Amino acid sequence: MWAAAGFFVATGWAVYFSTTSQDHPLEPIVSAVLRLTCPVAIVGLHYPVGLYSSLAANVVTYALVGLAVESLRRQLSHSRINP
């Protein structure tokens, strides 16, 4: 589920950037939200990143974050049940 969320977030950004004008710079809030929701965009500031590699990187990032969150959630719920 987390990996699918990462895919849809990256796809949303791809659609956004394909429909907006390339002549206008990014607003600071859009840039901040982009870096927060699609961490591979930080790498894209320094190196060219393709569409498919950014999709894959975002899927992997969200999957790893989801694994960490779910593991932590499971540990916390288990510790509440058995003190």
Residue 5 reports pLDDT greater than 60: yes
pTM over 0.85: no
pLDDT digits (tens, 9 = 90+) for 26-76: 788 988 998 999 988 888 888 888 889 989 999 999 999 999 999 999 888
Q: How far apart are CA 63 and CA 72, in angstroms?
A: 14
23 phi and psi, to 5 degrees? -75, -25
Band (pLDDT 50/70/90 cuts) for residue 81 is: low
